Every structure is written in C-alpha cells, then in structure tokens.
Chains A and B, each alone.
Chain A
Amino acid sequence: MSSQSSLDVIRLAGELDIARRDEIRRALQPNDAGGPILVDLSEVTYADSTVIAGLLRLRNDADAAQRRIALLIGDARLTRLLQYAGLAHAFTVFDDRASALTYLAGSPEQ
C-alpha cells in the first residue's frame, strides 16, 4: 500500500476560515487511490475550527479505510490550535516533509 505513486497529497495554504469553508470541505476529502494521505498545511498562515472539523472528518475516513494520514505543519500557531481543541494526539504531525513521507511509507497501523 505504501508506494509513493499512491500517495494522496492534500495541500491548503493561506488563511483558512469560514470564508473558505466550502473549499476546505472539498479539499479535505481522500481520493479513491487507497494510499496514505499527506495533508500539507505548511503554508497555512491562519486556521480556525473549520479546518479542525474537516481534519477530523478526514482522519475518520482514513481510519475506516486503514490509510495512514500525516499532517505537515510549518506554523506553531496551527499546532497550538490542535492543542487548544484537545486534539494534539488525534493526528500525527510533522514539521518536515521527509519525515512525514517516511512515516507514510510504513505499514498502516491497525
């Protein structure tokens, strides 16, 4: 399952709030390839709970399909947002792409 070609990369950038709610909802959906999912938020400059809700939905879909999912976060504010939402341990978070890809290349956790 771990071939790089099947990697599903979801990328969001800029300020993410209710003004982009529909775009966020559409983006945070897994493709049908069945591979691991990398959510690249490294260029996000602001996010609110709209994003957290979408990430939770995506994680649940990934878990149900036994697909690994990792978040790539470059801004400490987004990490703290997850903490404040009580969800710091709900996601596997990386601050560098190489580590995230190494994690995603591993076997899915049961």
Chain B
Amino acid sequence: MTGRSELRVNRTTADESTPSQLRHTVEAFLNAIDIEPALRDDIIIAVGEAIANAVEHAYERQEPGRVELHVTTDEDNTLLVDVYDRGAFIDRELREGRGLGLRIVRAIARAVSIDTEGGTRIRMVFDAGTPSAHDGSVAP
C-alpha cells in the first residue's frame, strides 16, 4: 500500500443487508490499494463487526438508521476506519453477540476508540503496510 486513498459511504436507511454490502465495498477498496490478503480479511472482519453494531442499534428504534463509513490511508501506511451512526452507545455490549463483536474489533485493530458525542463513532486504526501483526495468540 502506498500513498493516500479514501473511501466514503453513507447509508441513510441502513438495514440488515447493509453490513454485507459495506463489507464488499471495503473489500474492493482494500484490494484496490493492494493490502496483503490476510490483513485485508482481518480488517473486513473488524469493520463488519462495527457496521453490524451500528445497524443493530439503528434497528432497535424500529426505524431505518443512518450508517456512515469512512476509510482513509496515509503516507505512513496507517489505515483509519470510522463507522458512524446517530444512536447512543448505551447497553450495546449487553446485546447478545455484540460484546463479542467489540472484543473482536479490539483484537484486530491497533487502536480502537469510541466517541459517543452526537451519535456513536467507532474509530479503528490498522497498520496497513506490513503483513498482519496478529499471530492468533489473542488474550480472552
């Protein structure tokens, strides 16, 4: 991966098909910037969990929710992914599976931050220029 690239996707009426659609969009983007396949797959897993988290929360209000995805790369081979929705973060980890999802995100990304100001933004930072740093020895 070299140089700076950017992907922006905005779904104003995200539904349960959105995670799959956005995963494939991210996959195409990562292929285009030539990220190593195993790392690409791990990033897709993490991004998929973050998007599913956002979509499930939107569903809880019984109305279509907005989900935004923003992926950028920079010159030092850092890949930054933001998944943003308009909901509050409260109680998400209590939902079946979603606490596991955030654990998975944290295991894959170099850094994860969650901003709940005016919505919920999950920011994930990946080292994109080298083979996956993960050897599978992830602490429970």
- Tell me whether B101 and A83 are in contact (CB under 8 A): no
Q: Mark B40-57, 1 if CB is under 8 A from A, else 0.
A: 011011001100100110
The reply on B100 being an interface residue by CB < 8 A is yes
- Option from A17, A79, A81 in Cβ contact (under 8 Å) with B52: A17
The reply on B4 being an interface residue by CB < 8 A is no
The reply on B33 being an interface residue by CB < 8 A is no
The reply on A50 being an interface residue by CB < 8 A is yes
**C-alpha spacing A78/B96, complex, angstroms:** 19
- Tell me whether B139 and A86 are in contact (CB under 8 A): yes
- Tell me whether B136 and A83 are in contact (CB under 8 A): yes
**C-alpha spacing A104/B21, complex, angstroms:** 37
- Tell me whether B97 and A81 are in contact (CB under 8 A): no
- Option from B56, B107, B134 in Cβ contact (under 8 Å) with A18: B56
The reply on B17 being an interface residue by CB < 8 A is yes
- Point out residues on B near A: beta carbons under 8 Å: 16-17, 19-20, 23, 38, 41-42, 44-45, 48-49, 52, 55-56, 96-98, 100-101, 103-104, 107-108, 134, 136-140
| Cross-chain pairs A/B with CB under 8 angstroms, 21 sampled | A17-B48, A18-B55, A19-B20, A46-B23, A46-B48, A48-B49, A48-B52, A49-B52, A49-B100, A50-B52, A52-B97, A52-B100, A53-B96, A76-B38, A80-B41, A80-B136, A84-B45, A84-B107, A84-B138, A85-B100, A85-B104
**Apart from A53-B97, A77-B45, A83-B138: 16 A-B pairs, beta carbons within 8 A:** A19-B17, A46-B48, A48-B19, A50-B52, A50-B97, A81-B45, A81-B104, A83-B136, A84-B42, A84-B45, A84-B103, A84-B107, A84-B108, A84-B134, A85-B103, A87-B140
